[in-house]
Amino acid sequence: MKASTRTNRKLKRSFWGSLDRRGSVLRYVPDFASKNAEDWLRRLRSLPYTQGRVKVFGRDYAEPRLTCYFGDKAYTYSARTIKPLPWSRAPVLQDIRKEVENITGESFNSVLCNRYRNGDDTVGWHADNEPIYGPQPTIASVTFGAERDFDLKECSKGSSRSAGRIRIRLAHGSLLVMSGATQECWQHSLPRRKGVKDWSAAISRSPRKVLNKTSRSLPVRFFDT
């Protein structure tokens, strides 16, 4: 199944296929955690989230979300380095990671948790193409809490102009997997959303594999409800 990249698309149902002719692959499983979503969300709320600061064009900004990071290696992005917390502090993440690995057939050694407190918390356009992940990383993202939009835009080779866009409504307990050349050819973002009240955002968890020839990452999103 191939998604058109010349027009905007909105995905709500399960999808697994190519995004382009350059090897970008997307998989969306809306009912991934249908049996455990409420329990996992409850346990995720108790993790030690903090608000980080990043540098953008030389200026220092507070990130518009809360994060915590678990894994075996430190994680660096936007001139910010996060030291990993021990897995023993978050048994729920080990449960989630195991289920993601069972479905994807991949292994992950780190999880970045993002807590979006309301509709103003966001992530701008970017690609998860940091050297720490290696070439063509697999990024598996799990979402809990309120629904939020997840946007992707294809960047034409040699140009910053977008050739097409896809919008996915991330459901509570859903799994999104980006693999192949997706991080080379596409960027993604979590836009602001009006009408989402305080603590009606999302928790996103990203299982990730760092410092390996084939890198895999597992982000986890938590949108409070």
pLDDT digit string (tens) for the chain, length 225 residues = 444 344 467 776 889 999 999 999 999 999 999 999 999 999 999 999 999 888 778 888 899 999 999 988 777 766 667 789 999 999 999 999 999 999 999 988 889 899 999 999 999 999 988 887 888 989 999 999 988 999 999 987 655 455 689 999 999 999 999 999 999 999 999 999 887 765 545 566 566 665 443 445 566 665 565
pLDDT value for 5: 40
pLDDT value for 16: 92
Run of H or E including 219: strand 216-223
pLDDT value for 216: 59
pLDDT value for 13: 82
- Residue spans per domain, the chain: 9-223
CA 19 → CA 124, 127, 129, 176, distances in Å? 21, 15, 17, 14
Strand partners, 15: 28
pLDDT value for 4: 38
Name the amino acid, one letter, at 183: Q
Name the amino acid, one letter, at 219: P
pLDDT value for 157: 64
CA 59 → CA 78, 156, 214, distances in Å? 11, 29, 33
Q: Considering the domain 9-223, what is its CATH architecture?
A: Sandwich (2.60)
CA 138 → CA 25, 113, 215, distances in Å? 10, 16, 6
Kindly write down the DSSP assignment for every residue of 107-153, as one continuous string. Answer: ---EEEEEEE-STT--EEEE----GGG-SS-EEEEEEEES-EEEEEE
